[in-house]
Structure 1
Amino acid sequence: MGHEPSRALSAAQIDAFIADGFVRIDDAFPAAIAEAARAILWRDTGCDPHDRSTWTRPVVRLGHYARSPFREAANMPRLHAAFDQLVGPGRWLPQGALGTFPVRFPSDADPGDAGWHIDVSFGDSADFMEWRANVFSKGRALLMLFLFSDVGQDDAPTRIRAGSHIDIARQLAPAGEEGLTLRELAADGFAGSAHRREVLAAGKAGTVYLCHPFLVHSAQPHRGAEPRFMAQPPLLPREPLRLDRTDEDHSPVERAIRAAIGGIRS
């Protein structure tokens, strides 16, 4: 029986994912889990939630969180069902951790990381600009945004260019398996998707945005009142994406790429 009874996403939501490059899931994990996680994160920031004089930096990056309550948030049955629907049953690896948390504090200072980009996924260079992405999205099945605090429009929500995954797929297609470096992709400042509609990844704590790995997005300064707690881990593939399945059993992630590049290019 497996995943079939617990379909997390409607057909309309899957169509929107293919067209826009993301889907928002409200109440993807309980608010109580988000609250427990924030308590741990607050402690690790070295800042006092009740003393704003300790909020001295625009962003504090915290390391790898793999234990409870983070593991529970990442592995809710509803999310697993959505992964099956978007990536394909058996084609993704369960989340062992939630990666890094860029905790954003209210600040007039430039956070220094607020440029448009995609999350590149393979490479071995010490220079992250030399890391790569390819049209087969090697090393990444989804980009995910996990909101661990309530995020309004002033609380540094991630900016998303809806449909920009189409532009990136077309840019990557001619480069084949080798793909392009982040430096090459960013050479024009991601101007190729500048015409796209901008969406803010806002929502209540417990909201998760599941994004196509090619989605162009950006951080922004925090102009609100309370710090923003968000994780942005990849969903890792169990097997490589395939754009030429003979059984036509392409996942929505693969279908979006195929639609962008007109099927398969040799």
Structure 2
Amino acid sequence: MTSEPNAPGLSPAQINAFITDGFVRIDNAFPRDLAEQAAALLWRDAGCDPADPASWHAPVIRLGHYAQPVFRGTANTQLLHAAFDQLVGPGRWLPPGALGTFVLRFPTPEAPNDDGWHIDVSFGTETPDFLDWRANVVSRGRALLMLFLFTDVGEEDAPTRIRAGSHRDIAQRLAPADEVGLTLRELAADGFAASAHRREVLATGAAGTVYLCHPFLVHAAQPHRGTRPRILAQPPLLPAVPLDPWRADAAPVETAIRDALG
């Protein structure tokens, strides 16, 4: 589902799709000119020229968190704030103060070696090995996974692969582990087989597109088969209060968990 340009928020159909599929695509979530300004800073720091393939020295380059005004501006548009309120609940999320991590992918025949199915775990990150980072059934530490497109991304440009509805499988997997949750190592032990039957969707779109995803959504990178580099940011939306799927006024991100658990 996509939003209408300049719409005040998400439609009821979009919210229902988020609960069912685990994500919603918002076109024109932030202006293209902000995407271009931000991309220029990222190219500078990456030491690459998007117009010069000779400067593309790795299949993937990752850059950290950026808090300059242009980056904060992309994440704090009126449209996105309205969507955060609708999906997480007014007063239950923290305005993004920065964006990151940024992933720059380049056309190359080399395997990216980071294209396995996974979820973005959200706590226990003080442990050096990221496979020991954790998630639990109330998504401690993360209200949403977000995908910000800073370049145009077509089907050949390494769009993120999404398993629609897979957040339900993860909720069911996490429920028996209660508050302690599971590590990424434990979740990935079977290669996320429980969601293998799910419909695969590609996170394509023009620069300025944002995918707001349930924190349990199973997703994966893929090789870049196109001709132009791709820039994506994948920050979390942080909660201001813990998620509670069983509260009387549960927001859609919480309702999706409760529905998955029956």
> Using the alignment, how far apart are the partners of 1:50 and 1:252 within structure 2?
42
Q: How does 1:2-151 map to 2 (within 5 A)?
A: 7-123=8-124, 124-151=126-153
Give how far 1:7 is off. Answer: 4.1
Q: Which residue of 1 aligns with 2:177?
A: 175
Q: Which residue of 2 aligns with 1:186?
A: 188
SS in 2 for 1:24: strand
What percent identity do the matched residue pairs reach?
72
> Using the alignment, how far apart are the partners of 1:13 and 1:95 within structure 2?
22
Give how far 1:221 is off. Answer: 0.8
Select the residue among 215, 218, 222 that pairs with 1:216. Answer: 218
Q: Which residue of 1 aligns with 2:3?
A: none
SS in 2 for 1:69: helix
Moved more, 95-104 or 136-145: 95-104
Q: Which residue of 2 aligns with 1:256?
A: 256
> Using the alignment, how far apart are the partners of 2:34 and 2:138 within structure 1?
34
Q: Which residue of 1 aligns with 2:4?
A: none
Moved more, 149-158 or 43-52: 43-52
Count of residue correspondences: 255
SS in 2 for 1:118: coil
RMSD (CA atoms): 0.8
SS in 2 for 1:177: helix
> Using the alignment, how far apart are the partners of 1:51 and 1:154 within structure 2?
19
Give how far 1:13 is off. Answer: 0.3
1:219-266: per-residue Cα shift (whole Å, max 9, x none)? 111110110011000000000001221xx200000000000001xxxx
Q: Which residue of 2 aligns with 1:3?
A: none
> Using the alignment, how far apart are the partners of 1:239 and 1:7 within structure 2?
24
1:114-169: per-residue Cα shift (whole Å, max 9, x none)? 00000000002111100000000000000000000000000000000000000000
> Using the alignment, how far apart are the partners of 1:151 and 1:215 within structure 2?
20
SS in 2 for 1:40: helix
Select the residue among 231, 234, 247 that pairs with 2:233. Answer: 231
1:41-78: per-residue Cα shift (whole Å, max 9, x none)? 11111112232111121001111111121110000011
> Using the alignment, how far apart are the partners of 2:8 and 2:139 within structure 1?
25
Give how far 1:85 is off. Answer: 0.1
Select the residue among 193, 201, 205 that pairs with 1:199. Answer: 201
> Using the alignment, how far apart are the partners of 2:250 and 2:156 within structure 1?
38
> Using the alignment, how far apart are the partners of 2:162 and 2:115 within structure 1?
12
Where in structure 2 are there 5+ consecutive unaligned residues? 1-6
1:187-231: per-residue Cα shift (whole Å, max 9, x none)? 000000000000000000000000000000001111101100110
- Which 4+ runs in 1 deviate beyond 6 A? none
1:19-42: per-residue Cα shift (whole Å, max 9, x none)? 000000000000100011111111
> Using the alignment, how far apart are the partners of 1:99 and 1:55 within structure 2?
21
* TM-score (normalizing by structure 2): 0.96
> Using the alignment, how far apart are the partners of 1:186 and 1:87 within structure 2?
27
> Using the alignment, how far apart are the partners of 2:116 and 2:36 within structure 1?
29
Moved more, 59-68 or 144-153: 59-68
Where in structure 1 are there 5+ consecutive unaligned residues? 1-5
* AA of the residue aligned to 1:47: C
